[in-house]
Amino acid sequence: MKTIHYYLTIFPTEALIASMLDPVQFGSYMAQGTKRGSHERLMFVEVDGDFPSDFDWEYAHVRTVAHEDGRPKSSVYLGVYRILERVPFEHLGTLYLTTSGGQTLALEKDVFPNTFPKKPYYLYQDLCPVQPLVISAMPPGDYGTYMVSCDCKIQLPAICYCDLKVIDPADPVETGNLGPIYKRNLGHLEDCIEAVTTGGKLSKTLARTFAGNFTYQIVKSGFAFVQPDIRVWYPMPAFDDLIEQNYDWARSAMLV
């Protein structure tokens, strides 16, 4: 009996893909297991299939069959445009983070936290459907709600984002393994922080094209999926837990 998995990829591009591969195989296949010679990070969520929508599930069932030589079908694309807003978040399953080295980490859904530690500012990487790097005065729960609300002039129908670790501009040496977020233009970072902490702005775009450099090293507390009527939260495991339980992934993600 054939098993079809449905994967909503949210990074680097959004798509809904049917596949006979399990999530680990799919992550590895998409990240580097082809002859393309590319090595990409990939984030995807397994979703229930066959929910009422305009996706062509019949097409998925017909096409997602094993090859003549018995190899499983790796990918059948069901859509590549405005996907996130068309998947009801009730149907989201486990979130998978695949490194460019092909290692995959599974994150389970959790209750969206009511409160987050109070800070003067937060740093967000929007992942889908848009990908700017944003400094905001709002904590993770409020930020997503605001972005999909009518109050926001740049309202989105749905958003996926994560909060990031921030460099202390006063101590640019002891950064930890923050990867490419450490930039030479610390002055701009300080200007943006000032704009949201004392300048009265709710949010300020720090970089428009940072997403290509985004790595898992800098994720702070977790990943948020927000639609106007539903919020889903995937907490990022603590560093020590990752080392103990997912050492290969942590190493591949350059956490160690």
Partner 1 sequence: MLSIVIIIAIGALAFAAINFGIVRKMSPGTPEMQEISDAIRIGSDAFIRHQYGVVFKVSLCVAVLLGLIVSWYTGVTFLLGVLMSGSAGWFGMKIATISNVRVSNIARETGDIGRTLKVAYRGGSVMGLCVGGFALLGLVIVYFVFGKLLGQTGTDGMKMTANWLDIHYIPFTMSLSGYALGCSIIAMFGRVGGGIFTKAADMGADLVGKTEAHIPEDDPRNPATIADNVGDNVGDVAGLGADLLESYVGAIISSVILAICLYYTNQTGAHKIEFTLIEHLMVYPLGFAAIGIVSCIIGIFFLLARKTSDNPHRELNLSTLISALLTIIGTGFFTASYFRGQATEAIGFNFGILSPWIAAVAGNLAGIGIGQLAEVYTSFDYRATRKLAEASIEGYALNITQGMAGGMKSVFFPVVIMTLAIIIANAVAGLYGVSMAAIGMLSYVVATVSVDTFGPIADNAGGISEMSKLDPKVRRITDHLDAVGNTTAAIGKGFAIGSAALAALSLFASYLYAQAGAEDTAGFALSLNFIDIMTLTGGLVGAALPFLFSGILIEAVTKVARQMVQEVRRQFRDIPGILTGESKPDYITCISISSAGALAEMKLPAMLSILAPLAGGFLLGPKFVGGMLVGTTLSAVTLALYTANAGGAWDNAKKFIESGKYGGKGSDAHSASVVGDTVGDPLKDTVGPSLDILIKIMAVVSLIFVSVFQKYNLLDWFSSLNK
Asked if 181 interacts with partner 1 (CB under 8 A), we say yes
List binders of partner 1 among 81-100 (CB under 8 A).
99-100
Question: Using CB under 8 A, which of 32, 145, 221, 227 touches partner 1?
Answer: 32
Asked if 179 interacts with partner 1 (CB under 8 A), we say yes
Distance of alpha carbon 81 from its chain centroid, rounded?
A: 17
Q: Which of 60, 53, 43 minimizes the C-alpha distance to 6? A: 60
List binders of partner 1 among 220-249 (CB under 8 A).
243-244, 247-248
Contact yes or no for 136/201 (Cβ under 8 A): no
- The interface region with partner 1, picked from 2-10, 60-68, 143-151, 179-187 by CB under 8 A, is 179-187
CA distances in angstroms from 109 to 6, 37, 47, 48, 233, listed in the order given: 17, 32, 12, 14, 6
Question: Using CB under 8 A, which of 157, 169, 180, 199 touches partner 1?
Answer: 180
Asked if 35 interacts with partner 1 (CB under 8 A), we say yes
Q: Which of 86, 175, 182 minimizes the C-alpha distance to 133? A: 182
Q: What pairing do the DSSP bridges indicate for beta strands 5-11 and 159-164? A: unpaired
Question: Using CB under 8 A, which of 101, 113, 228, 235 touches partner 1?
Answer: 101
Tell me which amino acid residue 109 is.
Answer: K
Question: Using CB under 8 A, which of 3, 34, 185, 205 touches partner 1?
Answer: 34
Tell me which amino acid residue 217 is.
Answer: Q
Residues that bind partner 1 (CB under 8 A): 25, 28-29, 32-35, 37, 39, 99-102, 172-184, 215, 217, 243-244, 247-248, 251-252, 254
